[in-house]
Amino acid sequence: MSPTRKSPKPKSPTPILTATHIYNFLICPHRIYLDEFADPKLMDEESDFEKLLWERGMLHEEAALEELGLKAATVEWTTFEEGAKETLRLMKAGEKMIYQGLLSSPHMRGSPDLLKRVRGKSRLGSHYYVPLELKSGSAYENEDNGTLKLRYALQLSFYADLLEHVQGVRPTEGSVIDGDFRTVEFDLEDFRDDYKEILSEIGAILGKKTRSEPEICGTCGGCHWRSHCIGWAKQVDDLTLIRYLNGTKRDALRGGGIRTIAELAALETSNDVPSFEGISAGKLRHFVRRAAVMKSGKPLLVRPVEFPAVAVELFFDIETEPLEGICYLYGVVERRRGKQRYLGFFADSPEDEKKAWKEFWKYLSGLSDYHMYHYSSYEKTELAKLAEKYPCNKRLFEEFFENSTDLYRQVDRHTEWPSHSYSIKWVSKFLGFRYSDAEPGGLKAARWYMAYVADPSANATLKEKILEYNKEDCEAMIVLKDWLEKESAKIRRQGKLVLE
Ligand code: SF4
C-alpha cells in the first residue's frame, strides 16, 4: 500500500531514509523538505484525498489477503526496535510469508507489506526474502506497452536494499499485487539507475545541499502543506501561482529577471518583451495575460462562446465513491423557461446503484429538445463504464452526450481566471456563487456517503448534505454558463477580441 502513513517517522537529527521519502519525492521534492525541517504545527489537516487513499489502501490489503488466501505471520509491535527484532526472528525461522515486517539499517527504515520466502543462500540459511507490495491501483503505468509504475519499482528497490542489510542478499526481483489481484513481477535491476539517482537527490534535499522551495501545482490541493506553500507563494507573488507555469519555467523567467507575477504582468504594456529559454513567444503571451488577470482579480473571456437554444437545459453532475467504485448519485438541475428544479437519483446503498441508474435513464427518456452541461470529462468516462456494467438504451445514451457541452473545456480554452485552480468551486466563487459548505468537495461527499450507508437512520442528515452539495455544483455551472453567455454577448457587441 501507499507508504505515506505507514512507514515509521524517524526522530533523529540525521534524517533516516524511509519509503515515504521516495513516495513524496515523486509527488513533490519540497514536501520531503517540509516534512523533515518545517514546524509540524504549520501542517494542514489530512485532506479528504489523503484519508480516502489511506482507507482504500487498508481495504485493499485486507481484500487481497483474503482473495488470494495468503497466510502470513503478522508482526505485532509497539516500538520499531521490537518490531524489527520480531521480523528477524520470523525470517530466521523461515516463515513462508511475513506481513507488516519491519526492516532497518543504519540509515534506512521500512515496512514492506509482505516478505515472501524464496530458495537461495543467505545469512538466514538456504532461503531469503523478496518484497511484495499490495496496491489498490494498477501495477502498470501503461499496460499496452508493459511499462511498470516507477514509484512501485522504487519502493521495492528500497526494500531490497534493506533486505540486503538484514539477510546479506539483495533481491533482484519484487512483486506487486495490484487492484485486480494480479501478481506483477518487477525486475529491480531495470530500475537501478533511476533508484540511485533519486536517492542521491533525496539525500541532497535532506542534507540541505540543494535549494528547495514550493512549486504550486495540481497536487498541492491534496497535500498537508497546502496552506503553508500557497501562503508563501502569495506572499512572494510567486510565478508558479500562474496556471501551467511550473518550476522549470519559473527558473527560465527568473533567469531573465522576472521574479514575480507583478513583474510578468507588467510585460503586457511593455514595448520590449524579452525572450526566455524554453518558453515560446505564444506561451509567454498567455502567461503574461494570465499574470495580468491574476493582478486584476477579475476573470476574462478571451473569445466568445456559443450555446444552443433549447427548451430544456440540464446541468448534470455525478457523485462517486472511489473505494467501492460505485456511482451513487446522478444529479440534475433542470432549467425550463427560466424555472429551475433539482432531481437527485440517489442510491441508498451500494446495491441500489443499478436502481438509481435505471431511474435516471427513465427520466431522460421522457425529455426532448434538451442540452446537457457538465464540468470535466469525468461524467462521460464514468457513465461509459456504467453503461458496460448496466446496459441501457444505446440511442438515448449517445444522444445524451451528443447534446452536451463540457463547460470545463470552454473555461480552459476560452477564459482566464485569477486563480491557479479552474475547478468549478473556484471559478464560480469569482462569479459570486457560494457553497453552503466552507470546503466543498467530491471526496468529502464520498466520505459522507460511506458514513451514511454504514448507518442510514443515524446519518440521514448526511444524505441531505450530499444532495445539497450536488445541487450546488449544478447551480454553480448555471452561474458560469450565464456569465460565459453574457460576456460573449458583450464581446460581440463591442466587436473586440483579446488577441492571441
Ligand atoms: S503544497 Fe505543493 S509545493 Fe507544497 S509541499 Fe505540497 S505539493 Fe509541494
Per-residue model confidence as pLDDT tens digits over 264-274? 999 988 888 88
Residues 369-387 as b/e (b if ≥16 CB within 10 A, e otherwise) read: ebbbbbbbeebeeebeebe
CA of 181 relative to ligand 1 center, distance in Å: 32
Of residues 64 and 112, which shows the higher confidence score? 112
Which ligand 1 atom minimizes the distance to the CA of 27? 7
Q: Where are the domains of the chain?
A: 19-206, 237-296, 312-494
Tell the CATH topology of 237-296.
DNA polymerase; domain 1 (1.10.150)
Residue with the smallest CA separation from ligand 1 atom 5 is: 31
Q: Determine whether the shortest distance from the Cβ of 238 to ligand 1 is under 6 A.
A: no
Which residue do the cell numbers 451514511 mark? 452
The mean pLDDT of 472-498, rounded to a whole number, is: 91
Q: Report phi then psi at 219, rounded to 5.
A: -70, -25
At 7, list the grid cell: 512507514
pLDDT confidence bin for 497, thresholds 50/70/90:
low
pLDDT of 13 higher than 70: no
Q: Determine whether the shortest distance from the Cβ of 223 to ligand 1 is under 6 A.
A: yes
Which of 15-24, 252-261, 362-371 is the least confident region?
15-24
Q: Report phi then psi at 279, rounded to 5.
A: -125, 115
pLDDT score of 2? 41
Task: Indicate the top mutation candidate among 37, 226, 246 to test ligand 1's pocket, ranked by most ligand atoms within 8 A of CB.
Answer: 226
Q: Determine whether the shortest distance from the Cβ of 28 to ligand 1 is under 6 A.
A: yes
CB 258 within 8 A of CB 275: no
Q: Determine whether the shortest distance from the Cβ of 224 to ligand 1 is under 6 A.
A: no
Give pLDDT tens digits for 412-426: 999 999 999 999 999
CA of 220 relative to ligand 1 center, distance in Å: 5
Q: Report phi then psi at 278, rounded to 5.
A: 80, 5
CA of 31 relative to ligand 1 center, distance in Å: 6
Burial class from Cβ neighbours inside 10 Å (0-12, 13-18, 19+) for residue 165 reads middle
Cβ contacts of residue 237 below 8 Å, gap of 6+? 260, 261, 262
Decide if 237-296 and 312-494 have a common fold: no
CA of 208 relative to ligand 1 center, distance in Å: 17
Q: Determine whether the shortest distance from the Cβ of 219 to ligand 1 is under 6 A.
A: yes
Give pTM, 2 decimals: 0.79
Q: Determine whether the shortest distance from the Cβ of 220 to ligand 1 is under 6 A.
A: yes
Which ligand 1 atom minimizes the distance to the CA of 226? 1
Q: Determine whether the shortest distance from the Cβ of 334 to ligand 1 is under 6 A.
A: no
DSSP code at position 167: H
The three-class DSSP label of residue 195 is: helix
pLDDT of 65 higher than 80: no
Which ligand 1 atom minimizes the distance to the CA of 28? 8
Residue with the smallest CA separation from ligand 1 atom 3 is: 214
Q: Determine whether the shortest distance from the Cβ of 31 to ligand 1 is under 6 A.
A: yes
pLDDT confidence bin for 68, thresholds 50/70/90:
confident
Q: Determine whether the shortest distance from the Cβ of 72 to ligand 1 is under 6 A.
A: no
CA of 54 relative to ligand 1 center, distance in Å: 19
Which ligand 1 atom minimizes the distance to the CA of 229? 4
CB 212 within 8 A of CB 25: no
Q: Determine whether the shortest distance from the Cβ of 226 to ligand 1 is under 6 A.
A: yes
Give pLDDT tens digits for 269-319: 888 888 999 999 999 999 999 999 999 999 999 999 999 999 999 999 999
pLDDT score of 392? 85
Which ligand 1 atom minimizes the distance to the CA of 220? 2
What CATH superfamily is the domain 312-494?
Ribonuclease H-like superfamily/Ribonuclease H (3.30.420.10)
CA of 216 relative to ligand 1 center, distance in Å: 6
